[in-house]
Structure 1
Amino acid sequence: MTSKPPAAAAADEDDDYMNMTFEETPASRPKETLTQRKKRLAREAEIKGRPKSKAELAEEERKKREEALNSTTIDTSSKGFKMMAALGYKPGSALGVSRDPKNGDDRLLEPIGLEMRDTRSGIGADAEKKRKFREEVEAQQEVDKKRKVDAGEFRERQQKEREEKRMEGQAWGAMKVCERLEEEEDASGSAGDLTDAARRPTSRPLKGVNVLWRALVKQRAINERDRRIRYDLHQSLSRRPDYTDPDEEDEDKIALGRKTETEEVDVDLDEEDEELDEFEALEVSEKLTRLVHYLRERWNYCFWCKFKYPDKEMEGCPGLTEEDHD
């Protein structure tokens, strides 16, 4: 009986079949039938032969482009890299001569980045759009500025018109005061040797009235004439023109415009009056100032105080202007 070699005996002792692990064999692929194999091959051939859609081609192109843009290295298999390598280019180094050697090497170590355009517009289209947008913004700002200026001018013009209207009312009030004071002076006999007929404002020629309040007398005469014309027109439509009421008094005939004589004021209403036209051409403030000064100098009357002082000193009057009486 022969004994085992020591190496074989040691190997038998090391093999422990109770603790041995066994790898699982991959599951065997089910065997496909001939019909299934033909269908699979036909389906794969159909997938390979089917042309890709535009969306799929665009997506593939986009992925390739992003991969290329995200990479800063040059493809060593490209013709460009081979041409630069023939000229002495090495990956990681720069080309050409440094533009500013004193401040260090400023040459690019990576290719210039690409900027893809999302639109189909040409070069310079973005600058043109920016220029147009800037012009539109500037035009809108100019319109807004002009609108603000116009609004300010409109408010200023309205305020000026209100002030002129207020001063015009004050001027008409001063005219009435001048007319009243002169009538009182004429009635008291301080106007000289004037007769009663000459002192009556209705019998005085229009140009004989002071130009300061002549417009007031003229406007009153025009209104009276228009009233008589309207009344005569109404009477001509309701009665015969030659009809005369025997019971009508003379005062009623004069009041209703059926008098035989025409007043001198009515005669010269349509005549030219250069003096009145020149006065009416003045600013409202200037006319009011002249009226106020005339009242003070002629009758010692302050238009702003609404009081007639006994002497020219007018003691107690604050001043000549409306602001002095505030």
Structure 2
Amino acid sequence: MAAGQEEEDDYMSDTFVNLQQDVKPGLAMVRRVKEEILKKDRALEMIQENKQKSKKEEEKERRETMLQSSLGSDNKGFALLQKMGYKEGRGLGKSGNGIVEPIPLQIKTGRGGIGHDAAEKRKAEETTERRKRMSQVKKRAEEFALNEYRLHVRQKKDQRQMEGDLRKSQLACQQLDTQKGMDAPQEAWYWLSTSVEDDEKEEEEESSEWDSKTLNTTEEKLLNLTSYLRRKYFYCVWCSMSYQDEEDLSDNCPGDCAADHY
């Protein structure tokens, strides 16, 4: 009884092992079949491509051969020309001044109608020209904006420079007038303000946006005050010194404005 059981167990074990071994060969066979099918498909595609390519090449070679070969007397058109007195190698026309070689043949390979290529070319040229004009307009606009910005920056710089020169002139005027025993300036704005309200007002004016009216006012004040200092004290705010007299001021001071001192 035990021996029979052992034989049955051995049979079942061998069968299970054979089933396990048959799995991989089956998958490999399916893979090989698929690869063979793909190879055949690729081969057919290549054959079709070669056929199409060979047809186009044959047509091109045949066309070039026909174009390079001259017409013979068997051609009806050429025979008609010979009857009218044409001789091979001469130009067309009664006096032989016409063309010798035939008009070159232009092969059309696309599917567009007659005039399509010319229209597309004209459209491309118009697009290029339009883009060129737009680029030029944009460039001019950028240059204009840049010049405006530079002008604005330069004017603000000049404004700050004049405001600084005006404050120095006011300080110098206050010191010189005080040395002369004056208790008050000739004009209210000739001296620097010492009140808190005036200082706050001055700071607000400096932080406010620049405008041409402020520029003219500051420029006029600076011109007026520097003229007063030069006339009364022979003092130049840009030289930061007082000269002995008017002649000394005229001979040794470069000028009566900031530009003369730079």
Which of 98, 103, 106 pairs up with 2:97?
106
Which residue of structure 1 lines up, in the alignment, with residue 160 of structure 2? Answer: 165
Runs of 4+ in 1 over 6 A off after TM superposition: none
Offset at 1:325?
A: 4.4
Which residue of structure 1 lines up, in the alignment, with residue 235 of structure 2? Answer: 301
Which residue of structure 2 lines up, in the alignment, with residue 94 of structure 1? Answer: 91
The one-letter amino acid of 1:321's match is: C
Offset at 1:64?
A: 2.2
Query: Percent of aligned positions with the same letter in both sequences?
Result: 25
SS at match of 2:66: helix
Offset at 1:292?
A: 1.2
Evaluate the alpha carbon distance shift between residue 124 and residue 77 of structure 1 in structure 2; reply closer, same or farther with a 3 A threshold. farther
Which residue of structure 2 lines up, in the alignment, with residue 265 of structure 1? Answer: none
Offset at 1:152?
A: 6.0
The one-letter amino acid of 1:298's match is: K
CA contact (8 A) 1:95 1:107 kept: yes
CA-based RMSD of the aligned residues comes to 4.4
Give 1:12-161 correspondences, 5 Å limit. Answer: 54-71=52-69, 73-74=70-71, 76-85=73-82, 87-98=84-95, 105-116=96-107, 120=112, 121-130=116-125, 132-134=127-129, 136-137=131-132, 140=135, 143=138, 147=142, 154-155=149-150, 158-161=153-156
Q: Distance in 2 between matches of 1:64 and 1:219?
A: 105
Offset at 1:69?
A: 3.5
Unaligned runs of 5+ in 1: 1-49, 99-104, 192-198, 202-208, 227-277
The alignment of Structure 1 onto Structure 2 pairs a total of residues equal to 199
Which of 176, 193, 196 pairs up with 1:217?
193
Evaluate the alpha carbon distance shift between residue 108 and residue 309 of structure 1 in structure 2; reply closer, same or farther with a 3 A threshold. closer
Which residue of structure 1 lines up, in the alignment, with residue 173 of structure 2? Answer: 178
CA contact (8 A) 1:212 1:291 kept: no
Which residue of structure 1 lines up, in the alignment, with residue 257 of structure 2? Answer: 321
Offset at 1:63?
A: 1.7
Aligned: 1:288 with 2:230: no
The one-letter amino acid of 1:221's match is: E
SS at match of 2:216: coil
TM-score (norm. length: structure 2):
0.53
The one-letter amino acid of 2:99's match is: L
For 1:2-45, what per-residue CA distance to the aligned partner results, in whole angstroms no more than 9, with x for missing partners? xxxxxxxxxxxxxxxxxxxxxxxxxxxxxxxxxxxxxxxxxxxx
Q: Distance in 2 between matches of 1:170 and 1:317?
A: 20
Say which one has the larger Rg. 1
CA contact (8 A) 2:168 2:237 kept: no
Q: Which has the higher contact order (CA 8 A, sep 6+)?
A: 1
Offset at 1:97?
A: 3.5
Offset at 1:58?
A: 2.4
Q: Distance in 2 between matches of 1:89 and 1:110?
A: 13
Offset at 1:141?
A: 5.7
The one-letter amino acid of 1:61's match is: E
Higher helix share: 2
CA contact (8 A) 2:73 2:79 kept: yes
TM-score (norm. length: structure 1):
0.45
